[in-house]
Structure 1
Amino acid sequence: MTDPQITLYRLQACPYCERVVRTLDRLDLEYRSRYVEPMHSDRNVVKRVSGARSVPAIVDRNTGVTMSESANIVEYLEGTYEDAGAEAGA
């Protein structure tokens, strides 16, 4: 089995993170969750990958996209993968 191409940086019980998780699950996308430090100033791993300490953040190795902000991520995932999933299921 190969590693999932999408990595989601998230916090426990974060409603914005859960919104992205629901979208990933609905689109049937494999992803890896990386839980980050609750303290904003300690989220250096997120800052290294996305340039900011905010979560959720994703890294999509399929497309080379890295982004944060849940609304942007959901829009990106739907725009990139929703049609692909529909075509695969056709």
Structure 2
Amino acid sequence: MSVTLYRLDGCPYCEKVADRLDELEVDYDSVWVDAMHSQRNEVKRVSGQRAVPVLVDEDRGVTMAESDRILEFLNTSYAEASA
């Protein structure tokens, strides 16, 4: 499984996503991004924008931003799959 979470230290939206990944016991890598939007080139490369969090799930072919959308995806893809 290859899940990557692009996140910013101290970002509450990023923490919500990381906490949910931990609750669901999903193995993932964190990529810590720069606090300055203009320096988030890797995030822009993978998602087309510079905001975080961004989740990349290579196994499912998904790249998405916005914590609420990510949480919905995790609940649908991982919580229901383990139920």
Structure 1 counterpart SS, 2:6: strand
| CA deviation vs aligned residue, 1:39-67 (integer Å, no higher than 9, x gap) | 01110100000011000001101101000
Alignment-derived partner of residue 29 in structure 1? 26
| CA deviation vs aligned residue, 1:16-45 (integer Å, no higher than 9, x gap) | 000001110111100000000100111010
Runs of 4 or more off by more than 4 Å in structure 1? Answer: none
Distance (whole Å) between structure 1 residues aligned to residue 56 and residue 79 of structure 2: 18
- Provide the aligned C-alpha RMSD in A: 0.8
**What is the aligned length?**
83
**Structure 2 stretches of 5 or more lacking a match?**
none
Normalised by the length of structure 2, the TM-score is 0.96
- Amino acid in structure 2 at the alignment position of 1:42: Q
Structure 2 counterpart SS, 1:7: strand
Distance (whole Å) between structure 2 residues aligned to residue 21 and residue 9 of structure 1: 10
Match of 1:17 among 14, 18, 23: 14
Alignment-derived partner of residue 51 in structure 1? 48
Bigger Rg, structure 1 or 2: 1
1:85 and 2:82 matched: yes
**Structure 1 stretches of 5 or more lacking a match?**
none
Match of 1:7 among 4, 8, 11: 4
Normalised by the length of structure 1, the TM-score is 0.89
Residues 63-82 of structure 1 mapped to structure 2, 5 A cutoff:
63-82=60-79
Distance (whole Å) between structure 2 residues aligned to residue 28 and residue 61 of structure 1: 17
